[in-house]
Amino acid sequence: QVQLVESGGGLVQAGGSLRLSCAASGRTFNEYAIDWFRQAPGKEREFVAAISWSGGNTLYADSVKGRFTISRDNAENTVYLQMNSLKPEDTAVYYCAAGYDSLSSMTGFSGAMDYWGKGTLVTVSS
């Protein structure tokens, strides 16, 4: 069992930066890939970024590539999402999710994820 808690969301102006954290409980955290998803008001949840259990592989949605960076610290049971050059269209609730299957969890498919956090709100003003 893995429990996930997101933090770091808030209000930021366009062009600014935020760093989200996903803190996990459970001794097997380093066996899970961790993905970030987001859901904007009135829209479906979409994939943002993924990182493998070792941190050696990452995947990004085209919309955030070059602006967002995902990283993890297994000693601290935490995954980070550094978000730079934020745009108003990045406004959403951001969720982290843990997936045990190392292949499907790195595809951006939300159905492959086993555990979810409750989300943190990011608002980017223009």
Res. 79 pLDDT band, cuts 50 70 90: very high
Res. 1 pLDDT band, cuts 50 70 90: confident
Predicted confidence at residue 56, as pLDDT, reads 93
pLDDT in tens, 4-53: 999 999 999 999 999 999 999 987 888 999 999 999 999 999 999 999 99
Average pLDDT over residues 61-76: 96
Average pLDDT, the chain: 95
Question: Rounded CA gap, 32 and 74, in Å?
Answer: 10
Predicted confidence at residue 29, as pLDDT, reads 84
Res. 104 pLDDT band, cuts 50 70 90: confident
Question: Rounded CA gap, 49 and 97, in Å?
Answer: 10
Torsion on CA atoms 95, 98, 103, 107, rounded to nearest 10 = 0
Q: Is the predicted pLDDT of residue 85 greater than 90, yes or no?
A: yes
Res. 69 pLDDT band, cuts 50 70 90: very high
Residue (of 28, 15, 27, 25) closest to 96 by Cα position: 25
Question: Rounded CA gap, 29 and 3, in Å?
Answer: 9
